[in-house]
């Protein structure tokens, strides 16, 4: 039996500025939600193909490299995958229990509300009045 790849087109948005701190962490987590076509962090999966082009649009190259360098994200051709360690990092960050090597909570911990706000911006382009938002259309990896 041959499965059809049911690629769909989706417009996503990002703020046209370099994000830092909690905003960067929330945006990164929200971008994984969009790339895996899910709304909830607990529904994310390790080793699931995500569009590299989509993630590279939603995140700066430096952020992608940070996740790859830490072994949390695997890049392969046109796809990216959260590793098992990457999924653990996402879950820990959103739960507010990610700890650094020094034993202290990471500043990258974010609330589910911050992730929801970042997700809304990516999905709708709705942001505060002073932030410029850029839109781009992508094919999803449904199939």
Residue 50 lies in a domain: yes
pLDDT of residue 18: 87
pLDDT of residue 3: 39
Residue 68 lies in a domain: yes
Residue 22 lies in a domain: yes
Q: What is the pLDDT of residues 47-62, one digit of tens each?
A: 999 999 999 999 999 9
Number of domains present in the structure of the chain:
1
Mean pLDDT, all residues of the chain: 87
Q: What is the pLDDT of residues 78-90, one digit of tens each?
A: 999 999 999 999 9
Residue 3 lies in a domain: no
Q: Hey, CA dihedral for 67, 107, 40, 17, is it positive or negative? A: negative
pLDDT of residue 98: 83
pLDDT of residue 32: 98
Residue 4 lies in a domain: no
Residue 35 lies in a domain: yes
Residue 2 lies in a domain: no
How many Å apart are CA 51 and CA 35, to the nearest integer?
6
Sheet holding 50-51, edge to edge: 50-51, 79-82, 73-76
The pTM is what?
0.84
Residue 49: which domain range?
9-139
Residue 1 lies in a domain: no
């Amino acid at each position: 039996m041959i499965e059809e790849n049911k690629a769909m087109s989706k417009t996503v948005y990002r703020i046209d500025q370099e994000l830092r701190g909690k905003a960067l962490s929330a945006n990164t987590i929200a971008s994984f939600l969009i790339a895996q076509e899910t709304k909830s962090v607990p529904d994310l999966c390790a080793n699931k193909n995500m569009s590299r082009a989509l993630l590279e649009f939603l995140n700066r190259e430096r952020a992608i490299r940070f996740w790859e360098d830490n072994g949390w994200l695997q890049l392969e051709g046109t796809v990216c995958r959260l590793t098992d360690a990457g999924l653990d990092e996402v879950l820990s960050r959103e739960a507010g229990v990610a700890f650094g090597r020094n034993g202290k909570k990471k500043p990258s911990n974010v609330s589910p509300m911050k992730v929801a706000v970042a997700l809304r911006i990516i999905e709708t382009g709705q942001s505060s009045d002073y932030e410029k938002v850029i839109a781009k259309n992508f094919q999803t990896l449904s199939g």
